[in-house]
Amino acid sequence: MSVLHPAVTVVIPIFNEEAVLPELLARLTAVFDLPGAVKWQVLFVDDGSADRSAEILRGRVADDPRFGLIELSRNFGHQSALRAGLAHAAHADAVVTMDADLQDPPECIPALVEAWQAGAEVVLAVRRSREERGLRRLGFDIFHRVFGSLSDFPIEQNTGTFGLLARPAVEAFNQLPESNRFFPGLRTWVGFKRADVLYDRKERAAGQPGQTMRRLVRYALDGLFSFSYLPLRTVTLVGMCVAGVGFALGVFYVTRRLFGVEVAQTGFTTLVTLVLFLGGVQLIGIGVLGEYLGRIYDEVKRRPGYFIKRKSGLE
Ligand code: UDP
Ligand code: MG
The domain that holds 64 is classified in CATH as 3.90.550.10
Closest-approaching ligand to the CA atom of 10: 1
> Is residue 174 in contact with ligand 1, taking CB distance under 6 Å?
no
Cα gap 100→78, rounded to integer Å = 11
Residue 169 has pLDDT above 90, yes or no: yes
If you average pLDDT over residues 236-249, what whole number do you get? 89
Q: What angle do CA 158, 164, 166 make, to 5 degrees?
A: 140
Report the run of H or E that residue 96 belongs to, with start and end. Answer: strand 94-97
Distance between Cα 151 and ligand 1 center (Å)? 24
Instruction: Give 277-292 as a DSSP string.
Output: HHHHHHHHHHHHHHHH
Considering the domain boundaries, does residue 1 fall inside one?
A: no
| pLDDT score of 262 more than 80 | no
Average pLDDT taken over every residue of the chain:
85
Residue 243 domain boundaries: 230-301
Same domain, 234 and 270: yes
Q: What's the rounded mean pLDDT across residues 104-132?
A: 86
What's residue 210's pLDDT? Answer: 67
pLDDT-derived band at 138 (thresholds 50, 70, 90) equals confident
CA of 68 relative to ligand 1 center, distance in Å: 19
pLDDT(131) > 70? no
Q: Once rounded to an integer, what is the mean pLDDT over residues 22-48?
A: 89
Please give the single-letter amino acid code of residue 305: G
Residues near 172 by beta carbon (within 8 Å), at least 6 away in sequence: 190, 191, 192
Q: Are residues 33 and 44 in the same domain?
A: yes
Mean pLDDT of 43-60: 92
How far apart CA 20 and CA 224 sit, in angstroms, is 31
Q: What is the DSSP letter of 186?
A: H
- Of 24, 137, 211, the one to substitute when testing ligand 1's pocket (max ligand atoms within 8 A of C-beta) is 211
> What pLDDT is attached to residue 265?
72
- In angstroms, the Cα distances linking 137 to 79, 133, 140, 216 are 20, 5, 5, 12
Q: Do 167 and 224 fall within a single domain?
A: yes
Quick one: pLDDT at residue 39? Answer: 86
313 lines ligand 1 (CB under 6 A): no
* Judgement on whether residues 42 and 115 belong to the same structural domain of the protein: yes
Select, from the ranges 34-43, 165-174, 216-225, the one with the highest average predicted confidence (pLDDT).
165-174
**In whole angstroms, what is the distance from residue 292 CA to residue 301 CA?**
14
103 close to ligand 1 (CB < 6 Angstrom): yes
Q: How far apart are CA 266 and CA 263, in angstroms?
A: 9
**pLDDT above 90 covers what percent of the chain?**
27
pLDDT at 145 over 80: no
Indicate if 276 and 195 belong to the same structural domain.
no
Report the DSSP pairing between strands 39-46 and 308-312: unpaired
Residue 45 parent element (H or E): strand 39-46
Q: Residues 222, 244: one domain? A: no
Separation of alpha carbons 263 and 21, rounded Å: 76
State the ligand closest to the CA atom of 143: 1
If pLDDT is split at 50, 70 and 90, which confidence band does 3 have?
low
Atom of ligand 1 nearest to the CA of 16: 11
Could you tell me if 90 and 197 lie in one domain?
A: yes
Q: Is residue 278 part of a domain?
A: yes
Let me know whether 147 and 218 are in one domain. Answer: yes
CA distance 314 to 152: 38
User: What mean pLDDT do residues 32-39 have?
Assistant: 82
Kindly tell me if the per-residue pLDDT of 300 is higher than 80. yes
Tell me, yes or no, whether 124 and 152 share the same domain: yes
Tally of structural domains, the chain: 2
CA distance 53 to 15: 8
Band of residue 264 on the pLDDT scale cut at 50, 70, 90: low
Half-sphere exposure of 302 (CA within 13 A, CB side): 1
Our answer on whether the CB atom of 77 is closer than 6 Å to any ligand 1 atom is yes
Q: How far, in Å, from the CA of 90 to the mean position of ligand 2?
A: 26
| The amino acid at 281 | V
Q: Answer yes or no: do 286 and 191 share one domain.
A: no
Q: What is the mean pLDDT of residues 194-200?
A: 85
pLDDT band with cut points at 50, 70 and 90 for residue 197: confident
Chain CA centroid to CA 229, Å: 18
Most confident of 3-7, 172-176, 226-230, 274-278: 172-176
Ligand 1: does its nearest atom lie under 6 Å from the Cβ of 211? Answer: yes
- Give the pTM: 0.76
Q: Are residues 42 and 121 in the same domain?
A: yes
- Asked if residue 112 and residue 75 are part of one domain, the reply reads yes
Give just the sign of the alpha carbon dihedral 155, 161, 164, 165.
positive
Q: Kindly state whether residue 2 falls inside one of the protein's structural domains.
A: no
CA dihedral 207, 213, 216, 222 (to 10 degrees): -150
Name the residue among 255, 224, 205, 237 with its Cα closest to residue 101: 205
pLDDT at res. 4: 63
Nearest atom (ligand 1) to Cα of 160? 25
H-state helical runs in 12-133: 21-32, 53-63, 78-88, 109-117
